Amino acid sequence: MKKETSNLSLRWLYIAICTLCLAFAGIIYAWSILKVPLADEFGWSNTELALNFTLTMCTFCIGGFLGSRLTKLLGSNLSLIFSGLLAGGGFVIASFMQGSIAVLYISYAVLAGLGIGIAYNVIISSVNAWFPDKRGFCSGCMLMGFGLTSLVFGSLLDSLFANEAIGWRTTFLLFGIIMAAMICIAGIILRKPAADVKFPEAKKKAAKKAENFEIVDMSPLQMLSRVSFWLAFTCMVCLVAVGNSVISFARDLALSTGASAGLATTLVGVLSACNGLGRILTGAIFDAKGRRFTMIAANLLTIVSAGITLLSVVIESLPVCIVGLCLVGLGYGACPTIGSAFASAFYGQKYFATNYSIVNFNLFAASFIATACASLRTSSGGFVAPFVLLLCLACFALVLNICVKKP
């Protein structure tokens, strides 16, 4: 019994370490800040830079799938160390690029994106195994760390970029080294729970009332054969597309409504903070109210956020834009937590790592919508057309959401 209690207490240490680790890995979500010095120095267009974000999201999803495979071959520890070296190496290589955007795509999008995707999947699946009684809370805490990067590091990045003695090259180099070190440390420390560990029973009264069904372990192929999966997956693509698109041009959006350069950077951090807050709040709501209530509430929030942000662009109101960005962040933060908890609640824990990596491919599809919005912004000369598209997608998602039933 002593051994069981001791082992169980480790889960709080793991969740703390891994949340901090994911805060560094979430640097890819600070793209609207990271791209500024690159555009200034190399003159790359918004479309070229938006494509880098799209490629990063794609390789992030592929990395997540590879992470589930690598864990079976190498174990979670070696997989994390490998991913840390890959992600950090991508940033280090990017710090030395000399004007070829292909180098940016290979270093930042491919190497760093793959490495962070692998680390993300291995960390989430490994730590989730310690919290069968608090799936939503566990996912929410770690994903909060992943989403808070722009708030924590946004102003720091701006200051480092502006400092002539440091600049963006040294900043990329330092972040690459620190991120690699953090992920490797997690790889050395993190362990999966032993078979003799006894966990508290989950309190699911509210959830059972709303949607009562027995959780059955399903393989990836079984999951992919379910209509419930495809309805939820397509719904998540539409919802994630709203957040992805806004993240890719958040700074420019704020500037267009009258924000100063400094305030625009701060608002990217505010968006990030709401993203992180949305993740942990959604986890708590999922545990208390169940999947159906949480997904529909997140969907309605995304519709409202897209509508308010569209209004801010039309009337050119900075205060309305700030409200819109906050709501977009909260809605976007709900999506990964829902994806993680949904995969576990509907399809079990046995194949969770692989199933979750497949669910996470919603980012892959959504990233192309973000690129389309960037192109639409360029061709239309403003943000109105992109937000009309995003609002329509959010409304379509609600129709799909209502149709998702127990497997």
Short-list 388, 379, 344, 399, CA closest to 130:
344
Sign of the C-alpha dihedral computed for residues 37, 42, 46 and 49 taken in this order: negative
CA atoms of 323 and 311, how far apart (whole Å): 11
What token pair was written down for 204?
Answer: 């699911």
The confidence score (pLDDT) of residue 10 equals 79
Q: How many other CB atoms are there within 10 angstroms of residue 284's CB atom? A: 16
Across 258-262, average pLDDT: 85
The confidence score (pLDDT) of residue 291 equals 77
Residue 310 amino acid letter = L
Give the model's confidence band at 202: pLDDT under 50 very low, under 70 low, under 90 confident, else very high. low
Stretch among 86-95, 269-278, 300-309, 356-365 having the lowest mean pLDDT: 269-278
The confidence score (pLDDT) of residue 69 equals 84
CATH topology of domain 9-193+203-403: Growth Hormone; Chain: A; (1.20.1250)
Asked whether 147 and 28 are in contact (CB, 8 A), the reply is no
Taking only the tens place, the pLDDT of each residue in 109-121 is 999 999 999 998 8
CA atoms of 65 and 125, how far apart (whole Å): 12
The confidence score (pLDDT) of residue 356 equals 81
Sign of the C-alpha dihedral computed for residues 245, 247, 252 and 253 taken in this order: positive
CA atoms of 241 and 367, how far apart (whole Å): 7
Asked whether 277 and 330 are in contact (CB, 8 A), the reply is yes
Stretch among 72-81, 153-162, 387-396 having the lowest mean pLDDT: 153-162
Give the model's confidence band at 151: pLDDT under 50 very low, under 70 low, under 90 confident, else very high. low
Task: Give the total residue count for the chain.
Answer: 407
Torsion, Cα 354 358 359 364, to 10 degrees, reads 140
CA atoms of 276 and 269, how far apart (whole Å): 10
Specify which of 179-183, 263-267, 339-343 reaches the highest per-range mean pLDDT. 179-183
What token pair was written down for 178?
Answer: 């620190």
The confidence score (pLDDT) of residue 317 equals 92
Please provide the DSSP assignment of 155-209 as one string: HHHHHHHH-TTTHHHHHHHHHHHHHHHHHHHHHHH--PPPTT--PPPP--HHHHH
Short-list 145, 88, 133, CA closest to 111:
88
The confidence score (pLDDT) of residue 119 equals 92
Residue 107 amino acid letter = S
Give the model's confidence band at 2: pLDDT under 50 very low, under 70 low, under 90 confident, else very high. very low
Asked whether 354 and 321 are in contact (CB, 8 A), the reply is no
Query: If you search the block for the tokens 């949904």, which residue do you land on?
Result: 342
The confidence score (pLDDT) of residue 327 equals 94
pTM: 0.72
Residue 41, pLDDT above cutoff 50: yes
What token pair was written down for 309?
Answer: 């942000």
CA atoms of 282 and 312, how far apart (whole Å): 26
CA atoms of 58 and 210, how far apart (whole Å): 35
CA atoms of 155 and 160, how far apart (whole Å): 9
Residue 334 amino acid letter = A
The confidence score (pLDDT) of residue 300 equals 95
CA atoms of 138 and 199, how far apart (whole Å): 14
Sign of the C-alpha dihedral computed for residues 365, 368, 370 and 372 taken in this order: negative
Asked whether 138 and 245 are in contact (CB, 8 A), the reply is no
3-state secondary structure of 291: helix
Asked whether 239 and 303 are in contact (CB, 8 A), the reply is no
The confidence score (pLDDT) of residue 24 equals 85
Residue 157, pLDDT above cutoff 90: no
What token pair was written down for 200?
Answer: 């508290």
The confidence score (pLDDT) of residue 384 equals 92
The confidence score (pLDDT) of residue 3 equals 44
Percent of the chain's residues with pLDDT above 90: 31
Taking only the tens place, the pLDDT of each residue in 210-240 is 455 566 788 889 999 989 899 999 999 999 9
Give the model's confidence band at 407: pLDDT under 50 very low, under 70 low, under 90 confident, else very high. low
Specify which of 26-35, 198-207, 382-391 reaches the highest per-range mean pLDDT. 382-391
Query: If you search the block for the tokens 């933060």, which residue do you land on?
Result: 333
